[in-house]
Structure 1
Amino acid sequence: MDGPGMMTPRLLLVEDEPTSRLFLKAAAAALPAQVDTAERVSEAYGMARRGGYALWLIDANLPDGSGAELLARLRADGLTTPAIAHTATCEDEERERLLAQGFAGVAVKPLSAAAWQDAIRGALGGAAASGAPAVAADTTAAPTPIWDDDAATRALGGNPTHVGALRELFLAELPAAREQVLGAARAGDLDGLRSALHKLRASAGFVGAARLDQAVRALQGRPEDHGALQRFVETTDQTFAQAPSP
């Protein structure tokens, strides 16, 4: 039987990107809450079916399906646990689509720990409404720094230790993420390119990789622009070259 369970809520976080998963889990756990994680639709479906969750936190785009498909399967099984969608897509059409598909709210990544916690509290308290606005990240004023330490520290509630840990994970994952972007671009696979950029945009924002975040956004807007792709490559090089010391 699904439902809230205990005084300390138990949450299911579904997120496949490692940096985003670590950030979202740590911020939710600080509520406090017990947070279980899943990386794929297939894994999350089994965990959610076993029940005991007060809230599902579901990524809109997963390796083996969409968050909306996962939610639809769970609703068809009679489960009524509320769910928040989280996505790196900030367009109004995407938010409206997710709300229409049954999510109680939509959080746009990257976002601060405080904004994420507020979204969770609202859903747990029944305050999230179908017309509620998405939680969007602050825009970065030009000139854009390679690393925005202040933004990253604010996002993590002022904890520089957490910023360092997230950045180490982000930099370890960045070469593979870059190759996914370049491979999709070389193959002319626009869907694959958009998917790779979608994941990278959220994690770059969480760790304050501000110039890379800007380059990713530019390439998302012009996926067939070779100049935007070249700026993305140059910016990843700069991001590595000026990586903060541990």
Structure 2
Amino acid sequence: MRAMRACAERACAGAAASNVAASSTATIARTMGIATRIPTGRRTPMTDHRHPRALLVEDDAVSAAFLEAALARVPLDVDVARDCARARDLAASSTYALWVFDANLPDGRGDALLTELRARGTRTPAIAHTAAREAEEHERLLTAGFLEVLVKPLSTSETVAAARMALGLDVSLQAPVAPLRDLPFWDDTSALAALLGDRGHLTALRGLFRPELDAVQASLAKAVDTDDRAEIRSLLHRLRASCGFVGALQLGDAAARMSTMEPREGWPTFDAVLRATRDQFPAD
């Protein structure tokens, strides 16, 4: 009996020492501004403050950054896939409230990806985005099962409205900004309107866009030289979307015009506009 009492006394002393140590550690951590997790032997109730998740499939870095920030306003937590292969992996391993797919991806098409995922029995609502304005392209995407087709360049407000509609939430869409008659090389007003006035976001997107200009110029020059029309269409498609997000109005218009012309005929004018756009790049 005496041995049992001694054992119990040692256990109580050990527990008290542990509590003192934990209390002291927590006090020191608070003093230093450090967050700590001290195991207490009890399961602490947890409140899940996470938002529903969206899968965004977009290969262009500028477009992906814009769309990720826009979807966060829905609000949604966003996973980004750069191609169909990665999208398949994410869709198989995670549950999403919304899919947002680019129509044209490096390893396939958004409508084909949607059809493939639907065949697995997943009914996640989906919206598409594309720089193409042809009615046939939009009809093809809608027929595949997308609830809505958004046309780049997009605004934050219309992206949020489309996502909320797909999720069955209340939709509040701001009035569209009137198109500009003049096309300067750079226009902060239109870019900020698309980003709901967030200048920090605009600066970040332009930081991604600047190195893209050199890469696009070199890639397009090579594609024009080899008459690789599929590559030319792909590069111009992505560039038009990026231009809208960062306010590069004249370059976006030049890309749209070149896409309707014979490559060798449209290249000199387009190249001149691209060089001027790069030379007049806004200061940070």
**Once the two structures are superposed, what CA deviation does each residue of 1:20-39 show, in whole Å capped at 9, x if it has no partner?**
00000011112221111000
**Once the two structures are superposed, what CA deviation does each residue of 1:83-125 show, in whole Å capped at 9, x if it has no partner?**
1111111111111111011111111111110110001001111
Contact 1:16 1:40 in 2 (8 A): yes
TM-score, normalised with respect to structure 1: 0.89
Choose which of 92, 95, 113 in structure 2 pairs with 1:52. Answer: 95
Per the TM alignment, residue 7 of structure 1 is displaced from its structure 2 partner at its CA by: 7.5
Q: Which residue of 2 aligns with 1:162?
A: 201
**Once the two structures are superposed, what CA deviation does each residue of 1:153-184 show, in whole Å capped at 9, x if it has no partner?**
11110011111111111011111122222211
Separation (CA, whole Å) in 1 of partners of 2:123 and 2:219: 36
Separation (CA, whole Å) in 1 of partners of 2:100 and 2:133: 17
Is residue 2:139 matched to residue 1:96? yes
Write out the 4+ residue segments of structure 1 that deviate beyond 4 Å after TM superposition.
Answer: 137-140
How many matched pairs?
233
The answer for unaligned runs of 5 or more in structure 2 is: 1-48
The answer for unaligned runs of 5 or more in structure 1 is: 1-5, 129-136
Separation (CA, whole Å) in 2 of partners of 1:11 and 1:210: 30
Per the TM alignment, residue 51 of structure 1 is displaced from its structure 2 partner at its CA by: 3.2
Superposition CA RMSD, Å: 2.0
Alpha-carbon spacing, 1:191–1:138, altered in 2? closer, same or farther (3 Å)? farther
Is residue 2:282 matched to residue 1:244? yes
Higher relative CO (CA 8 A, sep ≥ 6), structure 1 or 2?
A: 1
Q: Which residue of 2 aligns with 1:203?
A: 242
Separation (CA, whole Å) in 2 of partners of 1:240 and 1:41: 32
Bigger-Rg structure (1/2):
2
Alpha-carbon spacing, 1:126–1:163, altered in 2? closer, same or farther (3 Å)? closer
Contact 2:185 2:250 in 1 (8 A): yes
Quick check: 140-149 or 90-99, which moved more? Answer: 140-149
Separation (CA, whole Å) in 2 of partners of 1:203 and 1:139: 20
Q: Which residue of 1 aligns with 2:20?
A: none
Q: Which residue of 1 aligns with 2:157?
A: 114
Alpha-carbon spacing, 1:238–1:89, altered in 2? closer, same or farther (3 Å)? same
Contact 1:147 1:210 in 2 (8 A): yes
Give the fraction of aligned pairs with identical amino acids, expressed as a percent: 44
Q: Which residue of 2 aligns with 1:30?
A: 73
TM-score, normalised with respect to structure 2: 0.78
